[in-house]
């Protein structure tokens, strides 16, 4: 299976380092506004615009066509061991360790000043008015594995439409996009403890 492993490095938010564990059968790509050197990653220059960065993350096949599987890994996530055989699912994501509800996530984003509060409020009010349920699930999108097919591409397009229209906080709209679909992709959520056995988290610069 032809696989692309993708990172984004923008502004002064994260440190950069090549991975110690390299998947020999995968191609590595990093999108960045910085002048970095890598022995592993092919470097793609991209302007530091948050919603453009999200577009690369959500719709990677538009920028890197021809892969059977796309693995997005945030810049502060590093493998400690080779990734095991991945489950057979359209989408593999990371279960949120603390929340299971977009409305709770919204409150956390407000408290942590993650985005413009008026923009987020407008988005969440729309979801309530449309009847999007509480406790419909919550993920952390720092690790995201997808096979591009009709249902995953549809989900990504619906998801990015929300990000483009509303908040750049993509976790707010991930499950809402599922809710809009008639035919839903198969999803496997990796538990937090399983994630920590395979990956290391490093602190952001700020």
Question: Which tens digits make up the pLDDT trace of 127-158?
Answer: 999 999 999 999 999 999 999 999 999 999 99
54: domain CATH number? 3.90.550
86 pLDDT higher than 90: no
Q: How far apart are CA 39 and CA 99, in angstroms?
A: 37
Angle of helix 150-165 relative to helix 50-58, nearest 10 degrees, comes to 170
pTM of the model: 0.94
206 pLDDT higher than 70: no
Cβ atoms of 103 and 158 closer than 8 Å: no
| pLDDT on residue 205 | 66
The answer to whether position 9 is within a domain reads yes
Give me the domain span that covers residue 113.
3-201
The answer to whether position 45 is within a domain reads yes
What confidence tens digit (pLDDT) does each residue in 167-182 have?
Answer: 999 999 999 999 999 9
The answer to whether position 206 is within a domain reads no
| pLDDT on residue 202 | 81
Q: Which of the four pLDDT bands, split at 50, 70 and 90, describes residue 119? A: very high
Pick the range with the lowest mean pLDDT from 101-110, 167-176, 181-190.
181-190
Q: In this structure, what token pair is assigned to residue 81?
A: 């061991």
The answer to whether position 122 is within a domain reads yes
| pLDDT on residue 45 | 96
Residue 109 dihedral angles phi and psi, to the nearest 5°: -65, -40
The mean pLDDT value for 35-63 works out to 94
Q: How many domains in the chain?
A: 1
98 pLDDT higher than 90: yes
Percent of the chain predicted with pLDDT > 70: 99
The answer to whether position 100 is within a domain reads yes
Q: How far apart are CA 189 and CA 96, in angstroms?
A: 9
């Amino acid at each position: 299976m032809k696989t692309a492993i993708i990172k984004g490095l923008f502004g002064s938010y994260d440190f950069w380092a090549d991975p110690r564990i390299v998947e020999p059968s995968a191609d590595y790509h990093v999108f960045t506004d910085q002048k970095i050197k890598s022995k592993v990653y092919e470097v793609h220059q991209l302007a530091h615009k948050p919603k453009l960065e999200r577009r690369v993350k959500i719709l990677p096949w538009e920028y890197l066509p021809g892969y059977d599987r796309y693995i997005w890994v945030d810049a502060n996530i590093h493998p400690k061991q080779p990734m095991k055989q991945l489950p057979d699912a359209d989408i593999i994501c990371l279960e949120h360790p603390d929340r299971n509800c977009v409305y709770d996530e919204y409150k956390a984003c407000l408290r942590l000043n993650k985005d413009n509060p008026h923009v987020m409020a407008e988005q969440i009010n729309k979801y309530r008015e449309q009847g999007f349920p509480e406790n419909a699930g919550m993920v952390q999108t720092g690790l995201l594995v997808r096979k591009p097919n009709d249902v995953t591409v549809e989900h990504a397009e619906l998801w990015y439409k929300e990000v483009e229209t509303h908040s750049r906080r993509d976790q707010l709209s991930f499950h809402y996009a599922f809710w809009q679909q008639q035919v839903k992709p198969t999803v496997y959520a990796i538990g937090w403890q399983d994630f920590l056995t395979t990956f290391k988290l490093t602190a952001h610069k700020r």
